[in-house]
Amino acid sequence: MRTRARAALSAALVAGVVAVAGCAADDTTSDDTTSERTASTAPTDLATGEVAPVGAPADVATGLDAPWSVVLLGDTPLISERDSGRILELADDGTTRSIGTVPGVASGGEAGLLGLAVDDGERLYVYSTADDGNRIQRFAVSGSAGSYALGSATTILDGLPSNSFHDGGRIAFGPDGMLYASVGDAGASADAQDRSKLAGKILRMTGEGEVPGDNPFAGSLVYSLGHRNVQGLGWAADGTMFAAEFGEDTWDELNVIEAGSNYGWPEVEGAGGEAQGFVDPVQQWATDDASPSGLAVVGETVFVANLRGEVLRGIPVSDPATSHDYLSGELGRLRTVLESPDGDLWVLTNNTDGRGSPRDDDDRLVRLRLAA
């Protein structure tokens, strides 16, 4: 699939489909305060199995404070708030209640309470910034829907590189049952090429934080390297792993991740690194148009939420060099996307994170219906 995708990407580049622009990803404030929400219909050129959001977005929850991640504990959504350190439980009526505050969260800039993940045993995993670096902790959660409470923490990995920017922070369990975590370069770009350091990497570990025996580098948590700041992780039904990554001044990226591969940062940004032994992205976007954050694979479609670009992109798994744009400018900055318990698409905005222009009742989680 990767060969086909690269060929399609090359054709798109030659045709001038991908436009050049420049400016650091996720580093500017939007001036768009439009609150109009338009209804949409599915494009007529969807690939086989590709789905698209239709209709107007509907609020699921409002009044969120710099939310970052949404995860399902059973059918109950839990939401992380980056700056407050709180984890919220979302009720069916759209109200939220705090199940607890993660202790020792040091917020500032892009740092704070970031990614959430849940394992098969419904244990909650949390990626957050502390005074001595980023860390991954596992929490017991007691109670049931409507009365969940955050229990004590077990730290499974700490001392990860941190800064007020480029903290990575996305965690997710893969189809192999392993926990994957994105760690940003934390401003030390050269470390992304150093296998002995965890900055600028995607890590793979057991639920206890241990190195799996089949990791690509013996005794190392490193699964892939050469990343600047990955914030989106997801898997297609066939096991293909996708990652969305912030570039610097030129290109943001969608990559297909393979064990042990090197994605080039900081030696190369975007396509053009294959001659040097790097893996090229299957799709790239000008940084003005993207800042890709959360990623979700729903059926045969990869959805990517974009911050600076203020757009939701749908990308067919069968041809990841192509995409469709949705919600362009309608909701502002988009941080996270996921499939809802009932099969709709949920999108989390991020206009209260200090870089957006909040609208009434921001931030919000919205629902979009999906259709082929």
Per residue in 189-206, pLDDT (tens digit) is: 999 999 999 999 999 999
| Residues 310, 333 contacting (CB under 8 angstroms) | yes
Q: What is the pLDDT of residue 40?
A: 82
Number of domains in the chain: 1
Query: What confidence tier does 27 reach under pLDDT thresholds 50, 70, 90?
Result: very low
DSSP per residue, 79-126? EEETTT-EEEEEPTTS-EEEEEE-TT---BTTBSEEEEEE-TT--EEE
What integer is the mean pLDDT of 336-344?
97
Tokens of residue 317, six digits: 């798994």
Tokens of residue 150, six digits: 């955050």
Q: What is the pLDDT of residue 142?
A: 97
**Domain region containing 138:** 2-371
Q: Nearest 5°: CA angle at 283, between 136 and 191?
A: 40
Compute the residue count for the chain: 372
Placement of tokens 């744009």 in the chain? 325
Query: What confidence tier does 37 reach under pLDDT thresholds 50, 70, 90?
Result: low
Q: What is the pLDDT of residue 20?
A: 32
Q: Residue 266, preceding bond cis, omega within 30 degrees?
A: yes
Q: What is the pLDDT of residue 108?
A: 97
**CA–CA dist 182, 223 (Å, integer):** 10
Q: Nearest 5°: CA angle at 232, between 12 and 133?
A: 135
What CA dihedral angle connects 246, 248, 250 and 254, to 10 degrees? -20
**CA–CA dist 169, 82 (Å, integer):** 11
| Residues 308, 293 contacting (CB under 8 angstroms) | no
Phi, psi of 24 (to 5 degrees): -65, 140
Among 357, 337, 191, CA closest to 267: 191
Residue 161, domain CATH: 2.120.10.30
Tokens of residue 297, six digits: 């694979």
The yes-or-no verdict on residue 52 having pLDDT over 50 is yes
Q: Decide which of 6 and 87 is more confident.
A: 87
Among 233, 204, 231, CA closest to 217: 204
Per-residue pLDDT of 302-330, as tens digits, reads 999 999 999 999 999 999 999 999 999 99
Give the strand pairing for 230-235 and 365-371.
Answer: unpaired
Tokens of residue 352, six digits: 């209260």
The yes-or-no verdict on residue 161 having pLDDT over 50 is yes
The yes-or-no verdict on residue 296 having pLDDT over 90 is yes
Provide the strand spans (E) within 277-353: 283-286, 292-298, 301-306, 312-316, 324-326, 334-339, 345-349
| Residues 200, 187 contacting (CB under 8 angstroms) | no
Among 212, 211, 191, 210, CA closest to 200: 191
Q: What is the pLDDT of residue 170?
A: 98
| Residues 69, 79 contacting (CB under 8 angstroms) | yes
Burial state string for 187-214 with b = 16 or more CB within 10 A and e = fewer than 16: ebbebbbeeebbbbbbbbbebebebeee
Neighbours of 55 (CB within 10 A): 15
The yes-or-no verdict on residue 247 having pLDDT over 80 is yes
What CA dihedral angle connects 164, 67, 223 and 3, to 10 degrees? -110
| Residues 66, 83 contacting (CB under 8 angstroms) | yes
Q: What is the pLDDT of residue 11?
A: 40
